[in-house]
Structure 1
Amino acid sequence: MNQRLAHVTLLVRNYDEAIAFYTNVLGFALAADQDMGEGKRWVVVAPPGPAGCGLLLAEAKTDEEKRGVGQQGAGRVWLFLHTEDFWRDYPALQARGLRFLETPRSEAYGHVAVFEDLYGNKWDLLEPLG
């Protein structure tokens, strides 16, 4: 049996502002944007490269969902953007306005720096070693 993780849902304030951030700042591709009716859309963004897990952007509607925007990781890094060249991507992302929360560091597992998306979710930009 073959299985893979296809999408992770990310709560956002607004579909269009989220699409703009993930495509213009992070350089993701807009893989899907379908109108589902009643103000809902099926919106998927994904990083460039081989097919992998994409983000399913879900516009928060209820008060509970709105409180969850930017808080899905409870203040921890919970999303990991792998790169094949950290030192190429780090300055390029900074130049596009991405806010890094720390200076790059080398760990036993790779080169890494924590950044925030437009909602305050914490991510690792990570070039794995080995």
Structure 2
Amino acid sequence: MKIINMKKFIAHVALVVEDYDDAIKFYTEKLNFILLQDIVLSESKRWVIVAPEGAKECSLLLAKAASEEQKKSIGNQTGGRVFLFLYTDDFWRDYQNMLGIGINFVRPPVEENYGTVAVFEDLYGNLWDLLQMKNK
């Protein structure tokens, strides 16, 4: 039997949020993401997709917590580790812009052998790397 290799990719990463509209506002106004979809599925559930402008495959699915157990995960989906990695083509431009609009950086910029990185938190406290890779 021949196995056919199909192209695969991660399409969405679910991010548990407290409120759809607050999350949309943060990601579109603070991080300049694009709102790709906002579809009402029921009285309490929406299909909300945001992504950085120009993103080709992976985006965030903003998922409103629907239970007490899910609410416990808001802001701590990875147990305190960095959760998501936002790549940039100009670290210092984006870092200064983010500082100027009140994004909280919990670790200052450092030059690593792979690039420049700083850690910030989103509106719920999830940790993100802002990262510009070195050209090879």
Q: How many residues align?
A: 130
RMSD of Structure 2 on Structure 1 (CA): 0.9
Q: When the two structures are superposed, what TM-score results if normalisation uses the length of structure 1? A: 0.97
Instruction: Report what 1:9 is aligned to.
Output: 14
Q: How far apart, CA to CA, are the structure 2 residues paired with 1:76 and 1:129?
A: 23
Q: Is 1:109 aligned to 2:98, yes or no?
A: no
Shift of residue 103, structure 1, vs aligned partner: 1.6
Instruction: Report what 1:87 is aligned to.
Output: 92
Instruction: Report what 1:65 is aligned to.
Output: 70
Q: When the two structures are superposed, what TM-score results if normalisation uses the length of structure 2? A: 0.92
Q: Which has the larger radius of gyration?
A: 2
Mark the runs of 5 or more structure 1 residues left unpaired by the alignment: none
* 1:47-98 per-position Cα deviation (integer Å, ceiling 9, x unaligned): 1124131100000010000001011011000200000110111001111111
Mark the runs of 5 or more structure 2 residues left unpaired by the alignment: 1-5
- Aligned residue type for 1:80: F
Return structure 1 stretches of 4+ with deviation > 4 angstroms. none
Q: Is 1:41 aligned to 2:42, yes or no?
A: no
Alpha-carbon spacing, 1:14–1:50, altered in 2? closer, same or farther (3 Å):
closer
